[in-house]
Structure 1
Amino acid sequence: MRSVFVALSAVLLLTACGVGDSPSGAGLDKAAPAGTRPLGDASMQAKTLRPSPSSSLVVTGVRVGSHAGFDRVVFDLSGTGSPGWFVDYTDNPSQLGSGRTIDVQGSTALNVNIDGTVSAHQAGVAPAQLDHTEGIGNVVEVVSAGTFEGRSQFVIGLTTSMPYSVEVLQEPLRLVIDFRQTP
C-alpha cells in the first residue's frame, strides 16, 4: 500500500510540475511557464506539409508568447482532421486569390498558410476576431488575410528574420511556430 501511495504522489508531483507546451490564455503571454522549450528543428528554409485528406478545420484564435531563447505564435484550431501548412519568409506578402498587398509591421514577414481549413461561415460557427494580434518579443504583429480555397493565410511581422520551426500539438489542436532568438 505504501508503494502505491509513493507512486501516486510522484505522478501527482510530476503532473503539477510538467513542462508547458504552449502559452496560456488568449492574446499575449507576458511570461512563460517555467521550463517551456522550443519545438522542432529551427531553420530559415520554407516548411510544408499536406493536411489529412478529410480536414475541415477553423482557426479559432491566435496567441503570441515570448520565452527564454524563443518567441512563439500559436494558431488554435477546431474541427476534424490534421492541418497542413506552407510557411516561408517573404519580402512582399500578398493575399491569396486577390494578390492584394498585406500591410504588416516589422522589418520582415513570415507568410503562414494553414491548409485543410474552412471559413467560420462554412463551418457554421461564429467567426473569431483574428484580423490583428499584437506581438511581443521579436514578433511585432500577426495579421489575418482570410481563408481562400481551403487555406487560411496569416502574416507574421518580425523585427528580423530568425530560424523557425512549425509543429502541430494535440488536445487542444494547434499549429505552433517557434522563432529561435539569435544572440
Structure 2
Amino acid sequence: MMACIALAAGCQSTSEHTGSVEGTTIPWSRVPGAQAGGGAPPQRPDPPPPTDPNARPGIPDAPTPTTPGPRTTDIPLLPPTSLVIPPVRGVTASGMHIERHDGFDRIVYDFGGTYAPPWRAEYVAEATQRGKETATRINGRSILQIYFFDTDSSAESGIAAYNGPNPLSEPAAHSVVEVHLTPNYESGTQSFVGVRTDYPQFLVTTLTEPTRIAVDIHD
C-alpha cells in the first residue's frame, strides 16, 4: 500500500536540519504544485489456449466429422504439461546521475527493472527521511523531494542498489546543488534535491529502454 506523505503548510526549517533554507516559511502561493505519476508492474500473461498436438503448420484443421468419433477410452493420454510463469520482480534504485541541458538540469534515476515505480514530487521545508526523527541537512535555497513508492531492497529484487556518491553533485549543473538518495525503507525510496534558487519549475517524466525517471529542474 502506498505510504502517505503529509506536509503542513507554513512548516519552518532550522539551520541544523536544512542548511541555507533556515528560518523561512514556504510561500505556497508561489510554489509549483506537486506532481505524481508512474505505472504498475506488468501483469502476468494469460496462459495460451490449448493447441492440437497433432496439428501441422500451414495445414487447416480437418472438418468436423459427421460420424461418431472414437470412444474416450480409445484416445491416448498425453503427458501433462505445466506453464511456468516467472514472478514479476520489483525494482530498486540502481543508478543516479545529473545532466546539464539548455535551460534546465536533469536528474535521472535508474531502477534496473522493467517498469518505473509510482512517484510523487513536491517542494518540502525539511528533508526528513521516513523512519528518522531528524532531518538531513541539504545545501540549497529550496528542497525538492521525489518519493518513489513500491520499491524493493536489493535482496528482494535482485537488483544492485545505487552505491555512488551520495550526495551527488555536478559541476556543470546550474539549478541543482546536490542530490541525496535514501535506502529503501518500508517499500519506499526518497530523494532530496537541493536547488540553488527559490522553487523553480520542474517536470518529472518516465523514460524507457531502459526504464528511468527524469526530473527536469528549470533555470
Task: Answer whether TM exceeds 0.5 for this pair.
Answer: yes
Superposed CA RMSD in Å reads 1.9
TM-score normalized by structure 2? 0.58
- Is there any run of 5+ residues in structure 2 with no aligned partner, and where? 1-30, 43-88
TM alignment of 1:69-148, pairs within 5 A = 69-130=103-164, 131-135=166-170, 136-148=173-185
Q: Identity rate of aligned residues, in percent?
A: 27
Contact 2:90 2:156 in 1 (8 A): no
Other-structure match for 1:155? 192
Runs ≥4 in structure 1, deviation > 6 angstroms?
none
Aligned residues: 139
Q: Name 2:84's counterpart in structure 1.
A: none
- Contact 1:82–1:116, Cα closer than 8 Å, also in 2: no
Q: TM-score, normalised by structure 1?
A: 0.69
* Structure 2 residue aligned with 1:170: 208
* CA-CA distance at 1:139 after TM superposition: 0.3
Structure 1 distance, partners of 2:125, 2:142, is 7
SS of residue matched to 2:33: coil
Structure 1 position 116, deviation (Å)? 2.5
Q: Which runs of 5+ in 1 are unaligned?
A: 1-42
Distance 1:81 1:65 in 2: 22
CA change 1:50–1:64 in 2 (3 A) is closer
Please tell me whether Structure 1 or Structure 2 has the larger radius of gyration of its CA atoms: 2
